[in-house]
């Protein structure tokens, strides 16, 4: 079964500090991993996906298959990064693909 674990429900950092949001996954096949973000009063939206290997808003995430992790990192956090972050995994289960989310981490960047 697919499973995504985000161990931190809350994460608080100061502006300019590095930030890392942790994500671990459980999946027997080759996963497709994503980070979605939900800013206050906005809809959930895609932040980045591992397959594109891009940096969005200064965030990067590297898939580590050995550690089954897909941690989200940013070297210098900004106040506008405060939001709810969800790690998600897309994979085949029972012949059809599912998109499963972790429970989310609420990031607060303090001035």
Partner 1 sequence: DARVTQTPRHKVTEMGQEVTMRCQPILGHNTVFWYRQTMMQGLELLAYFRNRAPLDDSGMPKDRFSAEMPDATLATLKIQPSEPRDSAVYFCASGLGGVGTEAFFGQGTRLTVV
Residues that bind partner 1 (CB under 8 A): 6, 32, 34, 43-46, 49, 51, 86, 90-94, 96-104
- 30 Cβ neighbours under 8 A, 6+ residues apart: 91
* CB 17 to partner 1: min, Å: 25
Strand 105-110 and strand 10-14: the pairing is parallel
Q: Which is nearer to partner 1, 14 or 57 (CB)?
A: 57
* CB 76 to partner 1: min, Å: 27
101 φ, ψ to 5°? -110, 155
């Amino acid at each position: 079964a697919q499973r995504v674990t985000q161990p931190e429900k809350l994460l608080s950092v100061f502006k300019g500090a590095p930030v890392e949001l942790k994500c671990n996954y459980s999946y027997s096949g080759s996963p497709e991993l994503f980070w979605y973000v939900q800013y206050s009063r906005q809809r959930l939206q895609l932040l980045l996906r591992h397959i594109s290997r891009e940096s969005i808003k200064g965030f990067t995430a590297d898939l580590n298959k050995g550690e089954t992790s897909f941690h989200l990192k940013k070297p210098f956090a900004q106040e506008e990064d405060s939001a709810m972050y969800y790690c998600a995994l897309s994979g085949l289960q029972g012949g059809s693909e599912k998109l499963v989310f972790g429970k989310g981490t609420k990031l607060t960047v303090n001035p």
